[in-house]
Amino acid sequence: MAAVPPRYWFRAHTYGWGWGLPCAWQGWAVLGVWFAIFIDGLRLLHRPGSAPLVFALLMIAVLIGICYLKGEPLKWPSGGSEG
């Protein structure tokens, strides 16, 4: 029996480091829900005594974590010319 290759939700960038736009519906769903929570959270925290920066950094960390778990493994480009 052949092993089933993992289905990634986010593709790794071809050049540079990180992930691009989602490549599966699950990734689009995660990105949509994340964006809605992010915007609503910032809107609700926009008052004196709140910490919108802490919320924003936490939300960014959550999104990076999801991309790390469900995205293609990251590889730093070698920088060599092919041909």
pLDDT digits (tens, 9 = 90+) for 5-53: 678 889 888 777 888 889 889 999 999 999 999 999 888 887 777 788 8
Q: Is the pLDDT of residue 76 over 80?
A: no
In whole angstroms, what is the distance from residue 22 CA to residue 67 CA? 9
Select from 17, 51, 39, 52 the least CA-distant residue to 31: 39
Give Cα separations from 2 to 5, 8, 34, 72 (angstroms).
Answer: 9, 18, 35, 20
Q: For residue 4, what pLDDT band results from cuts at 50, 70 and 90?
A: low
Contact between 13 and 73 (Cβ < 8 Å) = no
Q: Is the pLDDT of residue 1 over 80?
A: no
Residue ranges of domains in the chain? 23-70
Give Cα separations from 22 to 14, 19, 27, 49, 75 (angstroms).
Answer: 14, 8, 5, 36, 18
